Structure 1
Amino acid sequence: MKPSRFHLTRKKLNMKQILFSLVLAGGVTFAAQAQSEQYNDAMKQQVGLLDSSNTYNAGGMQQLANTFERIAQAEQTQWLPYYYAAYCRVNEAYMTKDKGKIDELADMALVNAEKAQALKGKDADINCILSMILSARIGVDPMTRGMKYGPESAAVLEEAKKMDPENPRVYMLQGQALLYTPEAFGGSKTKAKEMFEVALTKFAAAKPASSIVPQWGEAYTKMLIEQIK
């Protein structure tokens, strides 16, 4: 029995629907790949500027933070733009000469860090930023704030170390805290140098998953060791 014209037509329609679905799926995949490449290119460019002497100042950090925030708004499922925006905002807080702006900048950094954490989950590098934010707040009034934010910052770093014992930035920040804390309150240049040397060993052994994941800190660690000498 020959298939009716209706069945032949229906088969043709089904084939067209399948082909259309395949073409559509291919188009979506291509578009996603193009978007991913655009995102990676934009991130590589901005991350590459983080250690530049031209941007390592309050104004430069502000511009980079603004750019990372724009990338984050365009790529709302990616945690790294929020992370780097937080990193730049907290560095701007450290670098500003206006103490009245420190808390505002720290708050902006915290918002971005929390958004990064909501996407990524608990993460040692995000904890490093959270610790830096707490330490930055001390700068508003070290005599009254040091006793509150110092221990909180240290506790966040200890949590980071438990999450990722091989993260060099944890040891760098712990060394920095020892270096800038008065000896009467537990600071020590000798212990700071030891911590910096551990950090450099961890930096040398690190194998980043990509060029845009957190890698900052090695050059700064070397600078702090020279400062002790």
Structure 2
Amino acid sequence: MKTLIITTALLISSLLTAQTSFEQGMGKSLGLWGEGKAQEASALMERIAAAEKSNWLPNYYVALINTTEAFNPANKEKVPAMIIKAQDAIDNATLISPNNDEIMVVQAMLYTVILIQDPMTNGVKYTGLVMEQYGKALAINPNNPRAVFSKAEFEIGGAKYWGTDIKPMCAQIEKSIGLFANFKPETPFSPKWGLDRAQEALKACK
């Protein structure tokens, strides 16, 4: 997950030639993340968010960086702080852009992070919260490839745990690949990650 999202971050930062200070800052932050400097990337994105109070994207990336890094076992001791930082950023992004399906996808991912910290305690509650967020995101935009893929990926985890058939989820992953092919981000920094992950997941299905 981390490597593939970071590849997208590197691509964005490499394509941008210096323009506005916002674009420079966003490109630099995503570049730092691509270099494995997640803490520095998050800190810079937080500064951008403080300056760009009407733009939801910097807070979105603060949340995405910390949520993605929280899945890394190497960051086990940092996870509680990452969860708090990511949730604060999600809350701030949502205030700026309510009913935003991309933010809801990251919220679902963050709930997944919380769930896996203690599945026995958190399983029932956070499974419901994860599915609620994906459901809301898909109600807003049923063609959001990240929502379609991430929901299917989450459901595969549950299906494998319970020993149930994953074919329906694999079909959704295949559907998401088609959606990725037709997805056109609104801006150079709009979310566009996920295709490589979906392709790898589909290979695993087969």
TM (norm. structure 1) is 0.74
2:155 touches 2:169 (CA, 8 Å); kept in 1?
Answer: yes
**Aligned residues with identical type, % of pairs:** 24
1:115 to 78, 86, 92: 92
Matched-pair contact (CA < 8 Å) for 2:25–2:44: no
Unaligned runs of 5+ in 2: 1-18
Q: How does 1:126-165 map to 2 (within 5 A)?
A: 126-165=103-142
Determine if the alignment matches structure 1 residue 37 to structure 2 residue 20: yes
Corresponding residue for 2:6?
none
* Alpha-carbon displacement from aligned partner over 1:108-155 (angstroms, at most 9, x marks no partner): 101001101111121000000111111100121122211110111011
Supply the RMSD in Å over aligned alpha carbons. 2.2
Structure 2-normalised TM-score?
0.82
Summarize the Cα distance change of 1:116–1:71 in structure 2 as closer, same or farther, 3 Å threshold.
same
**Deviation >6 Å, runs of 4+:** none
Query: Unaligned stretches of 5+ in structure 1?
Result: 1-35
Aligned partners of 2:184, 2:165: CA distance in 1, in Å? 30
Q: Is the 8 A contact 2:32 2:38 kept in 1?
A: no
CA distance in 2, matches of 1:84, 1:91: 10
Matched letter for residue 53 of structure 2: Q
Distance, in Å, in 2 between the alignment partners of 1:61 and 1:187 is 36
Task: Give aligned pairs, total.
Answer: 188
Contact conserved, 1:196 with 1:221, CA < 8 A, in 2?
yes
- Counterparts in 2 of 1:98 and 1:46: CA distance versus 1, 3 Å: closer
Q: Which residue of 1 aligns with 2:61?
A: 84
**1:117 alignment partner, SS class:** helix
Please give the alpha-carbon distance, in whole angstroms, between the structure 2 residues aligned to 1:132 and 1:208: 20
Once residues 62 and 128 of structure 2 are traced to their aligned partners in structure 1, the CA distance between those partners, rounded to angstroms, is: 25
Taking a change above 3 Å as real, the CA distance of residues 68 and 181 of structure 1, as seen in their structure-2 partners, is same
Point out the more displaced range, 121-130 or 181-190.
181-190
Q: Which has the larger radius of gyration?
A: 1
Q: Does 1:190 align with 2:190?
A: no
The 5 A counterparts of 1:160-179 are 160-179=137-156
